[in-house]
Amino acid sequence: MSSERVLRGIARGLAGVAVLGVATGLLLEIALRIAEAAGLVSLPERQTEAHAFYEDRNPHYGVWHPPNATYRATRECYDVAYHSNSVGARDRERSRRSSQPRVVVLGDSFVEGVGVESHDRVSDRLERATGVEHLNFGTAGNFSSVQEWLLYEELASRFDHDRILLFTLPNNDFLENDPDRWWQPDRYRPYLRTAGGGFELFYPTDFETAQKNAAGAWRRSWHDASFIVRLHHWADTRIRVRLAEGATTPFGYVGYVNYDDIDLERLLFSYRKVRDAAGGRELIVVTIPRLNDLLYYEANGELGTLAQRIAQFAAQEANIRYVDLLPGFAADAQERGRRFSDYFLPCDGHWSPEGHAVAARIVLESVGTPTAGPASDVTTSR
């Protein structure tokens, strides 16, 4: 047999394999789309790849929204349109100057209100309850306490305000601050790395390179169009997250327990930075328990010493107060016969409207707020 015939045979075989692979992929895509439409499977969004509403666009703190933009977020348990104002915050338009008391609210996807309408969020409920503007600067996209500090310095502090509410999520803030453990090394985002007995800001890639490599329209189109691509991203995310989390509890990763001293020091360092930039204004740090945190607490009757350590830190620092939402959620569930899962969206894990309502009530009862104008009660949805 001549070498030419052998090569033709190999080429035909490779072509057959390619055709079979394409056909198998198409059949799998069709099957997965049918299963998705029937509600049998669902994949969470990876925000920084799914839509330009979440991109690492800011040279200081990374992920943020474009100004005056709209994004429709859909999953099987919600269908919500997000709107950003002229500075990119998912909030109504706010003036820079105000003679009335105002509160800046910092945080991640819980504060932004993933999966709920704006009026259902903790910040909007506090605003209605007190008559005091609560300016929401929260965003999804794995927004850490380091990014909250930098966003406050670069953007939120430019708006007149008298108090800062900073919501922190132990479930991922420890991981998101650590460049050696976080699972998205290709993203443009700030971390704190140890240096000279303290910490220094660290970006794993430079801003210009990140912009060139950012998820463009073609990449988002592929992400939106193909379930297989989304499945790959989901599996890749889960594997990386599990590796980052390391040893966990029977309830999965529990941020109130699964951290070490250097993790906590990073967190407290960022709190000091916000306080120092606040110019004498009060900083109120609020910890958010996720469902796995609450289930761990229910099973063990305790949740480690994180809350006590942050409370001790706040007591020793000027102009910092601390509120842990976990005892309030546990008490509300017991008093009202609620399941912990009622406070979270069933398809997602972020707060449901019920969760936002309970969080707003706990914050108001714990720290009060500057009063201005008529106020109504913070009501828990029933």
Quick: pLDDT tens for 80-138: 999 999 999 999 999 999 999 999 999 999 999 999 999 999 999 999 999 999 999 99
pLDDT at 210: 76
Tens of pLDDT, residues 180-214:
877 677 789 999 999 998 999 999 988 987 777 66
In this structure, are strands 198-202 and 191-195 parallel, antiparallel, or unpaired? antiparallel
pTM of the model as a whole = 0.82
- The whole-angstrom separation of Cα 314 and Cα 308 is 10
pLDDT at 382: 34
Q: Are 138 and 105 in contact (CB under 8 A)?
A: yes
Report phi then psi at 271, rounded to 5. Answer: -65, -45
363 CB-near residues (< 8 Å, 6+ apart): 122, 126, 165, 284, 286, 323, 325
- The whole-angstrom separation of Cα 245 and Cα 256 is 13
Low-confidence ranges of the chain (pLDDT < 70): 1-4, 6-11, 13-51, 183, 213-248, 369-382
CATH 3.30.565.10 is held by the domain 47-367: no
pLDDT at 48: 44
Tens of pLDDT, residues 27-36:
655 655 565 5
Provide the sign of the torsion angle of the four alpha carbons 120, 126, 127, 129, taken in this order.
Answer: positive
pLDDT at 84: 98
pLDDT at 380: 43
194 CB-near residues (< 8 Å, 6+ apart): 262
Provide the sign of the torsion angle of the four alpha carbons 28, 29, 35, 39, taken in this order.
Answer: positive
pLDDT at 378: 46
